[in-house]
Structure 1
Amino acid sequence: MLTVDFTRFPLAAGDRVLDLGCGAGRHAFECYRRGARVVALDRSAAEIREVATWFAAMRDEGEAPPGATATAMEGDALALPFPDDSFDVVIISEVMEHIPDDKGVLAEMVRVLRPGGRLAVTVPRYGPEKVCWALSDAYHEVEGGHIRIYRATELLGKLREAGLRPYGSHHAHALHAPYWWLKCAFGVENDTSPPVKAYHRLLVWDIMKKPLATRLAEHALNPLIGKSFVAYATKPHEPARAAL
């Protein structure tokens, strides 16, 4: 289930991609399939081991084109182990809401992104996320949980302050918002509640089958209750220096 829309965020074969806070690796896998040279970085050693295993399986099955590469590594988003201008593309999906120093993370992403490079950032959308917080303290008051809710204008403002130029945005995963409202209402750790179980089955069916009816419904509902806000930006080219 991808949050970044690659029709709005084009990726070329050979692009150097950093999936920052890759988690289970969904965006890293898609970039690898598209022929990119991918680095998936996360602070969780367990997640990185799993992502590395899947990269190896994809390689063995020929799921990535010739020239594509994939590396999974542990790392700190506030101290990225890469030189300046290392990547053509940086993706950070559902991560910034967890990090106290979000401006520091943005500064690091801008540093490793080459001039003219592209950034995709996704965060929980303000409205649906606010409902979750109102329904359940346990939803966000956990170690490593969400510490802030972004308004779209706030996130776009922080991108601009970091020196980036936003060029597009949209909302995603409208069908997932009611699922999390149900989870918060019946208990975030309670997976046996009949409404939660029934809605989870619907989501699994939708992800596996991708029926036209739910695709059209989600497309119509995304502007209203899309669970995620997605923004795209570029790093401007440095102005040419005047000749001495």
Structure 2
Amino acid sequence: MKTIKDKVALITGAGQGVGQGIAYALAAQGVKVAVVGRTLSKLEDTCAEIRRRGGIAEAFVCDVMIKEQIDRCVEQVVARFGSLNILVNNAQVVPLGRLLEVSDEAFMQGIDSGPLATLRMMRACYPYLKGDGAVVNFASSAAVRWDASGYGAYAAVKEAIRALTRAAACEWGADGIRVNAVAPHAMSPGMEGWVAARPEEAAAFFKTIPLGRVGDCEQDIGRAIVFLVGADAGYLTGATIPLDGGQAYWG
């Protein structure tokens, strides 16, 4: 069975949290990692840890809400590594708030950083992914919460990404490109901030996770991504995979 060793992965939002965990997990399998995000110091920290572990990584500064930066970033990654086989669209600005409160600006930041950035990044990477490429986009169980109050804008943004994921899987399957989405729970900085801001809601939420814990960014989310982009998942495309300890019921 083919391995993912020596493949090249571009991961957005890889300076911290889930993106960083995915970068660590892929690098541990011999993948060359393009660590992409807005803050160079965070990207360099991720790269330094990957190199300390014996992996290969380079930092690329990119604001995914700006198309020109996306196009330039992809060109730079290919110029540096010579190819591009794996795309992980993890970066996202999260628009939270009740419908009468969330601002148009916040909602549009969610759109620009989420479905629009995902679409632009997939388009930019498409020529290089043809043949044996894999894309992982990020959905959210916010779309299937038992009480969607305060999460409607965020859920709408993430459901748009799921729709784009399914379309890309259908349109690009003939090109040898697989496209899936994941809906994770992990103790990222964003999750930590939510817990601090809404401790009672968070405590109630965690009690609904059958496995009884929040996922680890590297071991639980990153390792699952290793599977999704590898040959063992070679017949899986167009799916949404919940990485949430069994909490959400997608139906």
Say yes or no: does 1:193 pair with 2:199.
Answer: yes
Distance 2:125 2:86 in 1: 7
Say yes or no: does 1:14 pair with 2:6.
Answer: yes
CA contact (8 A) 2:9 2:34 kept: yes
CA contact (8 A) 1:156 1:166 kept: no
Q: Which sections of structure 1, spanning at least 5 residues, go unmatched?
A: 1-6, 211-217, 227-244
Which of the two has higher C-alpha Rg?
1
SS at match of 1:134: coil
Partner of 1:72: 59
CA contact (8 A) 2:7 2:86 kept: no
1:123 to 138, 156, 162: 138
Q: TM-score, normalised by structure 2?
A: 0.53
1:134 to 129, 148, 154: 148
Q: Are the structure 2 counterparts of residues 12 and 107 from structure 1 closer, same or farther at C-alpha, using a change threshold of 3 Å?
A: same
1:110 to 126, 129, 133: 126
Q: TM-score, normalised by structure 1?
A: 0.54
SS at match of 2:36: strand
Query: Displacement of 1:108 after TM fit?
Result: 0.8
CA contact (8 A) 1:19 1:41 kept: yes
Q: Structure 2 counterpart of 1:155, which letter?
A: T
Identity of aligned residues (%): 12
Distance 1:28 1:49 in 2: 12
Structure in which a larger fraction of residues adopt strand: 1
Over aligned residues, Cα RMSD in angstroms?
4.6
SS at match of 1:224: coil
Q: How many residues align?
A: 187
Give CA-to-partner distance per residue, 1:41-60, whole Å, 9 cap, x none.
2223343133133224xx2x
CA contact (8 A) 1:89 1:118 kept: yes
1:40 to 35, 55, 60: 35
Query: Displacement of 1:72 after TM fit?
Result: 2.0
Q: Are the structure 2 counterparts of residues 78 and 134 from structure 1 closer, same or farther at C-alpha, using a change threshold of 3 Å?
A: farther
Structure in which a larger fraction of residues adopt helix: 2
Query: Displacement of 1:110 after TM fit?
Result: 1.1
Aligned ranges for residues 71-220 of structure 1 at < 5 Å? 71-75=58-62, 76-80=69-73, 81-82=75-76, 83=78, 86-95=82-91, 98-99=113-114, 100-111=116-127, 113-125=128-140, 128-129=142-143, 131=145, 134-136=148-150, 140=154, 147-150=157-160, 152-161=162-171, 164-165=175-176, 167=178, 169=180, 173=184, 176=185, 188=194, 190-191=196-197, 193-197=199-203, 202-204=212-214, 207=216
SS at match of 1:116: coil
Distance 1:11 1:129 in 2: 34
Q: Structure 2 counterpart of 1:38, which letter?
A: V
Q: Structure 1 counterpart of 2:83, which letter?
A: F
Partner of 2:106: none
Q: Which sections of structure 2, spanning at least 5 residues, go unmatched?
A: 63-68, 93-110, 220-242
Say yes or no: does 1:54 pair with 2:52.
Answer: no
